[in-house]
Chain A
Amino acid sequence: MIGLMMMVQFGCAKHSVKAKEIPTAESIFAAYQAASVSEEERDVELLNLHTVGTVEMALMPEPFLVDSWIIHDKGSQTILTIPGIGEVSEVYNLEYAWAVDPTSGDRLKEGAELEYSQKEFERTFVKDYSQLYSEATVLGADVFEEQDVWKISAKDAFNGSKATLYFTQEGSLLVGEHRMVEQGKGSMKMKMSYGEYQWVNGFYMPKQMTIKTMGIKQELTLTEVTVNNEETPDIVIPESIQAFIDESKQPEEQPEESGTPAE
């Protein structure tokens, strides 16, 4: 869930649309896309993104820290440092995806979960925003968190799920997004809102993000954002995860489980 938050798309708006005419989804996407990156950075490929921030969550007495890397040729890792719980990480190394979690237990993500991690990673590097969605239709003018917006219905090109997007009429900023997120075998509607946009190394990004799902609200505040860093961390498979990988490769040589009843 947190990993998802960190992979929010960049957004901006130098080319605002006329409020009295309902624009096409393509024109809104184009305006958003055109202004996402400054003139100087427009031809620069995104190689990596590093974000640091804090998350406040309704059930947690203290905010927790988030440190996330998305690296084009290595993968992604999001590390949460949660008071009273410890360090929890969600990692994808271009081949495997895993979670390190002292509470629920470390685990290798397989099947739909691995696919989800892969798609979320790939989503970050899509340059043309319109490629993220298909069947986009402007539903009309609306109000989202006291802002006049254009409401767009679309289908997520990566997983086929429905999404509703809210762009400000003045400024064409992406300020809201409702979409279904696949969670293992289930799926959950998430309502995200973005605010306090700021320029970061030529990219215009929201500093504040709010996610609401299952009646629980999370608020993410980014304190540090850098792109195309010269040095990036290596993504190393921990021993606990390697054990799962080995097991999945050699099922016939599994160690015996304790307490196996005698035949």
Chain B
Amino acid sequence: MTNVALWMWLGCSGKKVQMETFEATWTVVNETFPYEDFNGTNWNEVHDAYLPLAKKAKTADDLRPVLQDMLSELNVSHMAVIPEADFSVMDKNASNDSSNSAESKDDGNDESETEVVDQGWVGLSARWIEEQLVVTSVDGREDVQMGWVIDSINDISVASRAERFSDPRRQSFYMGRFAEGRFYGDINDTVEVTFKDAEGEVQERTLTYEKGHVMTTGTSFNLPSTGVSFVHQQIEPGIDTIAFTSFMMPIRDPMTEAFEQIAELKPQGLIVDLRGNPGGLIVLGQKLSGYLISEKGLDLGEQITRDGNLFLDIHPRPASLRYAGPVAFIVDETSASTSEVLAGGLQELGRIEVFGQQTAGKALPSGVRELPNGDRLQYVLSDLKTPSGGRYEGEGVIPDHPVNRMRSDYVQGIDPEMAAAIKWIKEQYPTKEIGETE
């Protein structure tokens, strides 16, 4: 075969697999989308409209934006095409260019692909507050202060990124995710961040992803490997907090241990911090709710598919492990999916009080499956209703206690959402000192 013929053959076979991928994506949605009216979209017409664009695609990179646009016609969350490269857990010491990972797969270098790279964190969180990306928490480092404003991350301008979003709620969500996504990474890698400090002086830092309390998910459930943390601590005498960054398998055992300790320590109040938590396995949300609910027969909501319905039952733990004291949940605009189902469900059931910001409203249950070109399709499996029949999707969870965030608070080292939750917990025991034992 001549080089030209080989090139033509490769080009044709590339197009063929992209077309197969296009059809597979359309078909999966056609067969599984929970709303038979496709959310008011004519799905057959959508197919015909995007087919000519798909035919032009020679590579997965060409096709991905076409598929993403096609899926966005449905106007729901949890519809995405995830690049194959995100699943190739190459050792970055061998190759720092993740875009090469798919090519390396064909080299027969399978050993490196099975190596999961441990994830780390730079110890920062940031949120879109007063039209700026503000550092809202600093953990274990002294070279960055709360309240600093982030100007760029790895030379990506925050201002230019923010301009992409005209809707304030979307802007707030995506800018928060923009920061969170870059503050986790392969351990010992670095990220370049430019800040403005409280006095407006430019501060440049090279931050290293450090292990700390970060656990690595691995590529389970067809999802890319990510870092996740679970922290249980006593924030003040008599008040415990639990904060975790996603509902993925590594938090399962720490959650069990945390509630065993809580049963032993008997704090007078509990705060569950779901800020920045984009969700994960709903079964872990059900598990946590079982530690807080004693009544049988309750649920966090109802999944409705074309095949039937499934309730997200709460199974109360034994009384010796349940916590019956006051519970505050903190959520914000980056809390999504299972975070919303858990917080919203327990809120409706009257078990908790919710503090913070309105959540993302991206709560539909989804699955992930491999496409012919190696990318993964995340697709909606079911509609989801709250215990009273409302919807999490769109509106999200509205806090019982909305908290106004100002940069000036963070500059002073104050976390206003946590402060509001602590204040409420203390108000539940007006006649008794927090931490006082029986």
Contact = CB atoms under 8 A, between A and B. Distances in A.
Interface of A: 58-61, 84-85, 102-105, 107, 110, 180, 183-190, 213-216, 240, 243-244, 247, 254-262
A256 B319 contact: yes
Interface in B407-431: 428-429
Main SS of chain A's interface residues?
A: loop
21 contacts: A58-B222, A59-B367, A60-B220, A85-B249, A102-B252, A102-B256, A103-B252, A110-B296, A180-B308, A183-B311, A184-B310, A185-B297, A187-B308, A188-B305, A190-B307, A214-B367, A215-B32, A215-B305, A215-B381, A257-B320, A261-B326
Contacts of A190: 307
Interface string B297-323: 101001101011111010101111011
B302 A258 contact: no
Interface string B204-223: 00000000000000111110
A258 B325 contact: yes
Nearest to B223: A59
A255 B367 contact: no
Main SS of chain B's interface residues?
A: mixed
Contacts of B252: 102-103
A216 B221 contact: no
B310 A183 contact: yes
A104 B286 contact: yes
A243 B367 CA distance: 35
Interface residues of B, number: 60
B308 to A, nearest CB: 4
Contact of A259 (B268, B299, B311, B318): B268
A213 B297 CA distance: 24
A52 B367 CA distance: 27
A213 B310 CA distance: 11
Given A84-B218, A257-B294, A260-B325, A214 B287 contact: no
B248 to A, nearest CB: 10
B308 A189 contact: yes
A255 B28 contact: no
Nearest to B299: A185
A107 B309 contact: no
A152 B31 CA distance: 24
B325 A259 contact: yes
B324 A184 contact: no
